[in-house]
Amino acid sequence: MHLSDLWFIAIAVLWAGYFVLEGFDFGVGILLPFLGRDETDRRVMINTIGPFWDGNEVWLITAGGATFAAFPPWYAAMFSAFYLPLLIILVALIIRGVAFEYRGKRDHVRWRAGWDVSIFLGSLVPALLWGVAFGNIVRGIPLDSRAQFTGYFFTFLNPYALLGCLTTLTLFTLHGALFLALKTTGDMRARANLTASGLGVAAILAGGGFLAWTELSNRSAPSSGEGIASVALAALAAVTLIVAVAANLVRREGVAFAANFTAIAAATAALFTALYPRVLPSTLGAAYSLTTGNAASAAPTLAVMTVVAGIFLPLVIAYQAWTYWVFRKRVVGPPKPSKPSTPPLPPVSPEPRTPSAPTDPRSAPQVS
């Protein structure tokens, strides 16, 4: 295996880690206006992801940095072609991060409501556009001989990419509902469990259709190692997604969340396996596609990156695992005030009697 192949696998792992971890953050944010019936519910929902969301975004930064260092032409072509979608995603993530920090700065209903909308939109927009972006990366975009993008924004809005958009939206929202069912108690837990049951059906239909389309249009030979591995990973994603929905129905939140976690990771791995050895296919001709061979950095650069990653990546993973262990317990909100009962009627005081005139003893009848 060449170092370029190793770093292609590493980037795939980084994206899978980002989707399975940031995915439930997006899902909780999308469900905020639907499951958060009052301020207590919304505060509990935000607290479930409060210790994790900023650490989860590190996977995105690392994936982008690894792509820049290991495959500079891929990074240049991708970030140039997807400039507008990626800019929109970046703005949405910034707004969402600011909303998390500023929401509790003022105890005012309209202030919190405005930031709640920001959290919702800052979660919904990336959940949609990541599916569009990766759908087009796997399908291919019009690149010329200089690796220049020759299309326009609506080039990205093809049927395959739009199905990918629905897939990431339903999978991430389901992931968030399962996470809430795992991390909350009482009525919130029950409502998250019920919501996940409905979302599971939509995720199976969208995700199953998207993976089936991917494998049917896979450019690799079906009998090749990459073709077989991609089909196997897609099948694993489908099976674990069904297991997640079934486990949620019997209220096994831990099993359901772990199964959906595996489904998202396996689906991401299936996409990258179907893409290999290309990193960004060209729809104008196979000769114009970027591959792990013609887009990789020099071997010394990859060697230095491998040593650095081997030292620091285990430390980052260990720290994040420790964070999840520390905050592993369910989030319990303050008790909600009970509805005031009808106050008892005041006791009826007896009507005051009118004092009778004193009786003259001399006028009383005499008894002999």
Q: How confident is the model at residue 352 (pLDDT cuts 50, 70, 90)?
A: low
pLDDT (mean) for 69-88: 94
| Percent of the residues in the chain that have a pLDDT greater than 70, as a whole number | 89
pLDDT (0 to 100) of residue 335? 72
The reply to whether 78 falls in a domain is yes
pLDDT (0 to 100) of residue 368 = 38
Residue 345 binned pLDDT confidence (cut-offs 50, 70, 90) = low
In a domain? residue 33: yes
Q: Which of 29-33, 67-71, 143-147, 214-218 has the lowest mean pLDDT?
A: 214-218
Q: What is the pLDDT of residue 332?
A: 87
Q: Which of 333-337, 356-360, 364-368 has the lowest mean pLDDT?
A: 364-368
Domain assignment of residue 296, yes or no: yes
User: In this predicted structure, what is the pLDDT of residue 137?
Assistant: 95
Rounded average pLDDT over 111-132 = 96
Q: Which residue has the higher pLDDT, 289 or 334?
A: 289
pLDDT attached to residue 340? 56
Looking at residues 92-113, what average pLDDT do you find?
93
353 pLDDT exceeds 80?
no
Query: pLDDT band at residue 210, thresholds of 50, 70 and 90?
Result: very high
pLDDT of 303 above 70: yes
Residue at 186 is within a domain: yes
Establish if 319 belongs to a structural domain.
yes
For residue 353, being part of any structural domain is answered with no
What's the token pair of residue 237? 């994603």
Angle at Cα 254 formed by Cα 244 and Cα 21, nearest 5°? 80
Q: What is residue 316's predicted lDDT score, i.e. its pLDDT? A: 86
Decide if 73 contacts 290 (C-beta within 8 A).
Answer: yes
Residue 222 has pLDDT above 70, yes or no: no
- Does residue 53 lie within any of the structural domains? yes
Q: Domain with 192 in it: what CATH number?
A: 1.20.1630.10
Q: What is the pTM of this model?
A: 0.88
Give the whole-angstrom CA distance, residue 59 versus residue 107.
Answer: 33
3-state secondary structure the chain: CCHHHHHHHHHHHHHHHHHHHHHHHHHHHHHHHHHCCCHHHHHHHHHHHCCCHHHHCHHHHHHHHHHHHHCHHHHHHHHHHCHHHHHHHHHHHHHHHHHHHHHHHCCCHHHHHHHHHHHHHHHHHHHHHHHHHHHHHHHCECECCCCCECCCHHHHCCHHHHHHHHHHHHHHHHHHHHHHHHHCCHHHHHHHHHHHHHHHHHHHHHHHHHHHHHHHCCCCCCCCHHHHHHHHHHHHHHHHHHHHHHHHHCCCHHHHHHHHHHHHHHHHHHHHHHHCCEEECECCCHHHCEECCCCCCCHHHHHHHHHHHHHHHHHHHHHHHHHHHHCCCCCCCCCCCCCCCCCCCCCCCCCCCCCCCCCCHHHCCCCC
Mean residue pLDDT across the chain: 90
Please give the pLDDT value at position 363.
46
User: Considering its fold, how many domains does the chain have in total?
Assistant: 1
Q: What is the pLDDT of residue 333?
A: 76
Among 108-122, 160-174, 275-289, 335-349, name the one with the lowest average pLDDT: 335-349
Mean pLDDT of 54-63: 92
Answer whether residue 167 is part of any domain: yes
Q: What is the domain range of residue 183?
A: 3-326
pLDDT at 358: 53
Position 226 scores a pLDDT of 84
Asked if the model's pLDDT at residue 146 lies above 80, the reply is: yes
- Average pLDDT, integer, range 350-366: 51
Would you state the pLDDT for residue 364? Answer: 45
The model's confidence at residue 103, banded by pLDDT at 50, 70 and 90, is very high
d(CA 123, CA 27): 7
Q: What percent of the chain has pLDDT over 90?
A: 77
